[in-house]
Amino acid sequence: MAQPVLEVRGLKKHFPVRHGLLGRGKTWVKAVDGVDFAIHPGETLGLIGESGCGKTTTSKLILLQETPTAGSIAFEGRDIAGLEGTELMAYRRAVQVVFQDPFSSLSPRMRVEDIIAEPLEIHTDLSRAAIGKRVGEVLELVGLQPDVAPLFPHEFSGGQRQRIAIARALATNTRLIVLDEPVSALDVSVRAQIINQLEHLQRTLGVSYLFIGHDLATVAHISHRIAVMYLGKIVESADSDTLCARPMHPYTKALFAAALPSHPDDQQQERTIAGEVPSALRLPSGCRFHPRCPSAMPVCSEVEPTLQPRDGGGVVACHLYD
């Protein structure tokens, strides 16, 4: 297989939390605790999990907004930790991000053309005319008319704003876009437009996506592969079709059980799992999921399971399959 666009190995990010008198005590929140994955050209990796599972911290590490505690992130074969100067600029040019809320991610005081032109001004030495031409091109790519360029973000609906955010992310011949819940804030019909648009852009431009979400059906629809995160660790990862056909980790199963039916007749028989995600400050011993797990065994509270190859391809970290 070709070289991955992005390869993440043993990635960890621990945040210190001070407590006690004068903050002398110190504990660690293990937001991301040993995560491995790879994203290949033209591929979408879906990262799914509940709030606090570390998916957004992972995206921040990839975007160099945080420095990892341990582990490496390699972009097209080169570790990004040591990048400097023009190489760092080249990385920042090739990896872009689209956030959840298009109302706060676009500056209300900048015109659409300036928003999209900004990365071009920073990263390229194109002339003003060439930048203007490129802005028109990417606006057309995302399904907007080029003549909306002089307008301000408030003149657009939520879906159109999200298109503008995607246009900005695409402007610099991007190789990888981190999509952090890009459709969660949108209405159903608009959500479908954006998902279709993203899929279309990937087919035509060959760009890779890291799609972060919590809605199983949406993530499964857009992703080629899915990684399920729970409390800083990937508990299961497989092809999207394989995972949907046969989820193996009890947490993945719980997510499927909690997914809403698409018809009144396909109600889930099993009850959803009890309890909530525990605090990342006091991680359970052994398998982090064992306090909520319906099939927990004595070994689960003692030994932490490691990712093992699972049937049908992919990996799963669970003692049930030892």
Partner 1 sequence: MNMGGPDMAPHSPRRSARPGEVGAHLDPVLTVSDLQTHFFSFGGTRVVKAVDRVSFTLHEGETLGLVGESGSGKTTTCLSIVGLLPRAARIVGGSVVFEGEDLTRKSQRELRRIRGRRIAVILQDPMASLNPLFTIFRQVAEPAFFHQHLRGRSLRERVQHLLRAVRIPSPEWRMREYPHQMSGGMRQRIVGAIALAGGPSLVIADEPTTNLDVTIQAQYLDLLKDIQRETGVALIFVTHNLGIVAKMCDKVAVMYAGKLIERAPVRELFDDPKHPYTRALLGAVPKLGSKEPLYSIPGQPPNLANLPAGCSFHPRCPEAVPRCVSEEPGDFHLGDGSVARCWLVEGKNEAGAHRGPTRS
Paired residues of 70 in beta bridges? 12
**Chosen residue from 86, 261, 269, 282 binding partner 1 by CB under 8 A:** 261
**Chosen residue from 38, 90, 273, 320 binding partner 1 by CB under 8 A:** 273
Q: Is 189 in the site for partner 1 (CB under 8 A)?
A: yes
**Between 125 and 164, how does the x/- string for binding to partner 1 read (CB under 8 A)?**
--------------------------------xxxx----
Residue 284 Cβ vs partner 1, minimum distance, rounded to whole Å = 16
Cα separation, 305 vs 315, whole angstroms: 12
Residue 281 tokens, joined: 């400050």
**Chosen residue from 145, 264, 269, 282 binding partner 1 by CB under 8 A:** 264
- Between 125 and 266, whose beta carbon lies closer to partner 1? 266
Q: Is 259 in the site for partner 1 (CB under 8 A)?
A: yes
Binding window for partner 1 (CB under 8 A); candidates: 57-65, 76-84, 109-117, 264-272: 264-272
Reference 307, options 319, 291, 297; nearest CA is 319
Q: Is the dihedral of CA 304, 310, 315, 316 positive or negative?
A: negative
**Chosen residue from 109, 128, 260, 269 binding partner 1 by CB under 8 A:** 260
Residue 18 tokens, joined: 């001070």
Paired residues of 6 in beta bridges? 39, 75
**Chosen residue from 24, 109, 154, 271 binding partner 1 by CB under 8 A:** 271
- Cross-sheet strand order for the sheet of 95-98: 95-98, 176-180, 208-213, 44-48, 225-230, 233-239, 315-316, 308-309
Q: Is 107 in the site for partner 1 (CB under 8 A)?
A: no
Q: Is 216 in the site for partner 1 (CB under 8 A)?
A: yes
Q: Is 272 in the site for partner 1 (CB under 8 A)?
A: yes
> How, if at all, do strands 225-230 and 176-180 pair?
unpaired
Task: Report whether 229 contacts 49 (CB < 8 A).
Answer: yes
3-state secondary structure 268-285: CCCCCCCCCCCCCCCCCC
Q: Is 74 in the site for partner 1 (CB under 8 A)?
A: no
Residue 117 Cβ vs partner 1, minimum distance, rounded to whole Å = 25
Q: Is the dihedral of CA 290, 227, 77, 179 positive or negative?
A: negative
Residue 9 tokens, joined: 């190995």
Binding window for partner 1 (CB under 8 A); candidates: 12-20, 57-65, 236-244, 298-306: 236-244
Residue 220 tokens, joined: 């499964």
**Chosen residue from 191, 233, 253, 319 binding partner 1 by CB under 8 A:** 191
Amino acid at 147: D
**Chosen residue from 14, 241, 297, 304 binding partner 1 by CB under 8 A:** 241
- Between 42 and 132, whose beta carbon lies closer to partner 1? 42
Residue 53 tokens, joined: 């599972």
Residue 267 Cβ vs partner 1, minimum distance, rounded to whole Å = 7
**Chosen residue from 88, 217, 299, 303 binding partner 1 by CB under 8 A:** 217
Residue 107 tokens, joined: 């500056």
- Between 66 and 199, whose beta carbon lies closer to partner 1? 199
Cα separation, 237 vs 221, whole angstroms: 15
Enumerate binding residues for partner 1 (CB under 8 A). Answer: 50-51, 157-160, 187-193, 195-196, 199, 214-218, 220-221, 240-241, 244-245, 254-267, 271-274, 276-277
